[in-house]
A = this chain, B = another copy of it.
């Protein structure tokens, strides 16, 4: 992370909100799913090209691509390569989680490879993936193992950015604390014994930027976790309140913004590319200037 940024560009292509150059791709020949796949790829590529100098990584929202089936997975692979060529880290935001044997398959799909008697099929090959901890430690261990084996990372959901986060994550426990505090402890335990040179482990946490009042406690419970902070912009979170997330230093947290960047021209005016670049640079500077 040599560049002075903690900003992660969220790529969540929406067929109703594509930039003109992506719309043009959707009008070219071929089956609809392939045309939309090309449009999503163009949208992602244009976003990356416009904002890469202000960003340290890209977060691909798997749900958006999964709508197109195989064409969506082709787009994911192309964008993963494109982001890497732009010098960006790639985070697959799929929030996967399953029993150990299936979690291992997800880990192969995103962070590793699939071995077979006929050769090795490469996975998406991203640098990090988001995972859901509801099923407990044994469902997370295959992801942790895959991340460690490949020098990659994980972001475990701890306290998410949506209003519904309160329904389960905020429940108070009989033993004291809330569910999200228990999830935070689990993240800390999974990362134990493997803290790198910056004091950070490969097991990070998703912590919504929409509930900054929890950041001090979350940092206390997870001193070595990188925080992935979604929710700035469209969801109502603001960069200025996120300082406590950067506990161990500037590398301690990543701020993601998706619609705030892709739709910046609606508020700022001008061409989408220029508006996205200006918005990303503004978010980057705001985050970099936070006191750490």
Contact = CB atoms under 8 A, between A and B. Distances in A.
Contacts of A273: none
Contacts of A140: 164
A71 interface: yes
A135 B114 contact: no
Contacts of A72: 73, 109
Interface stretch (A46-54, A82-90, A172-180, A281-289): A172-180
B121 A67 contact: yes
Interface in A100-126: 100-103, 105-106, 108-110, 114-121, 123-124
B115 A15 contact: yes
A36 B118 contact: yes
Nearest to A141: B164
A145 interface: no
Contact of A135 (B103, B120, B121, B157): B157
A36 B116 contact: yes
B105 A67 contact: yes
B63 A70 contact: no
Copies in the complex: 2
Contacts of A173: 171-174
A262 interface: no
Contact of A138 (B66, B123, B163): B163
Nearest to A23: B117
Contacts of A136: 162-169
A103 B159 CA distance: 17
Contacts of A36: 114, 116, 118, 121
A108 B74 contact: no
Nearest to A130: B98
Given A36-B114, A73-B69, A139-B162, A96 B63 contact: yes
A161 B114 contact: no
Interface stretch (A26-34, A241-249, A263-271): A26-34
A258 to B, nearest CB: 9
A99 interface: yes
A163 to B, nearest CB: 6
Contacts of A175: 171-172
Contacts of A105: 12, 61, 63-64, 66-67
B174 A179 contact: no
Given A99-B235, A133-B134, A139-B160, 9 more contacts: A15-B118, A26-B118, A27-B118, A63-B102, A66-B106, A66-B110, A99-B162, A138-B162, A172-B174
23 contacts: A32-B121, A33-B121, A36-B114, A64-B102, A67-B108, A69-B70, A69-B74, A70-B71, A97-B132, A100-B164, A133-B168, A134-B157, A134-B160, A135-B164, A135-B165, A135-B168, A136-B168, A136-B169, A138-B164, A167-B186, A171-B175, A172-B173, A179-B179
